Amino acid sequence: MKWHWLERGKGRAGHRLSGTALFSDLGERELRVVEAFAHERQFLPDEVVFDAGEDGQALYVVVSGRVAVIAEGAGDRPLAELVAGEFFGEMGLLDGAPRSAQIRALEPTTLVVLPRTEFDRLMVSHARIASCISLQLARHLGRRLRAMLEIAPAREAS
């Protein structure tokens, strides 16, 4: 049995989530807590992570590789591409609505998956992690809203 709490920490940079936007404000100890609840999945190029319309059961963080966000009915042209450090699937956890787009891996991709129950548990029972994640989510949604507002007039003009 390893007594990890007696070990010296491996440092913030040693964690696979340390370079991700969602967890950028967390310290080493908090990252260790989040990683204790997370799973890792590998995807092949072109493999579907989830489809639009599915129930959202988890939040995904891209650890390595690249994924495409594909809106329903938009053909194969992606709405956006997400690279290492970015995250997706948060909307399904926040409002309980079905997935709004399909996610497809573009190259060999490793994702860290935080299941809904664990996400909810962290948000309810760990004040520091909850406030850091909430702040990052708010920033993320703000950026997305700003981007949409910038795109809308351009579309109307064209």
Partner 1 sequence: MSLLRYRAGPLVWSGNILATCLLLFFFQKILWLVVPFILALVLHYLLAPLKLRLLLRGVSHDAAAAMVSVAAFLVCALPVVYGFPRLLGDVAGLHETLLRYIGGGIRLLTDVLSDLEARSAFLAESGARAMLETQLGGFFEHFTEKYLPGIVMGLMVWSPSLLLVPFIAFFMLRDGWRFRRLLLRAVPNAYFERSLALIDAVDRTARQYFVGLLQLTLLDTLCLAAGLWVIGIDGALMLGLLAAVLAWIPFVGSVIGCLLVVLVVATDFPGQPGVAYAAIGLFVAVRLLDDFVFMPVTVGKSLNMHPLVTVLMIFIGGAVAGVPGLMLVLPVLGVVMVLGESAGQLLTDPRLHARHAHAKALELRRVTRDLRID
Q: Is 1 in the site for partner 1 (CB under 8 A)?
A: yes
Question: Cβ closer to partner 1: 5 or 75?
Answer: 5
Q: Is 52 in the site for partner 1 (CB under 8 A)?
A: yes
Kindly tell me the burial class for residue 100, based on how many C-beta atoms sit within 10 Å of its own C-beta (0-12, 13-18, 19 or more). middle
Q: How far apart are CA 101 and CA 104, in angstroms?
A: 10
Contact in structure between 70 and 85 (CB atoms under 8 Å): no
Q: How far apart are CA 148 and CA 134, in angstroms?
A: 21
Phi, psi angles (nearest 5°) of residue 27: -85, 180
User: Quick one: which of 39, 139, 143, 146 contacts partner 1 (CB under 8 A)?
Assistant: 39
User: Quick one: which of 55, 81, 96, 147 contacts partner 1 (CB under 8 A)?
Assistant: 55
Tell the smallest beta-carbon distance from residue 46 to partner 1 (Å): 6
Q: How far apart are CA 29 and CA 25, in angstroms?
A: 12
Contact in structure between 79 and 8 (CB atoms under 8 Å): no
User: Quick one: which of 23, 32, 62, 70 contacts partner 1 (CB under 8 A)?
Assistant: 32
Q: Residues 56 to 115: which contact partner 1 by CB under 8 A? A: 56-58, 72, 98, 113, 115
Contacting residues toward partner 1, per CB under 8 A: 1-5, 29-30, 32-33, 36, 39, 41, 43-58, 72, 98, 113, 115-117, 121-122, 125-126
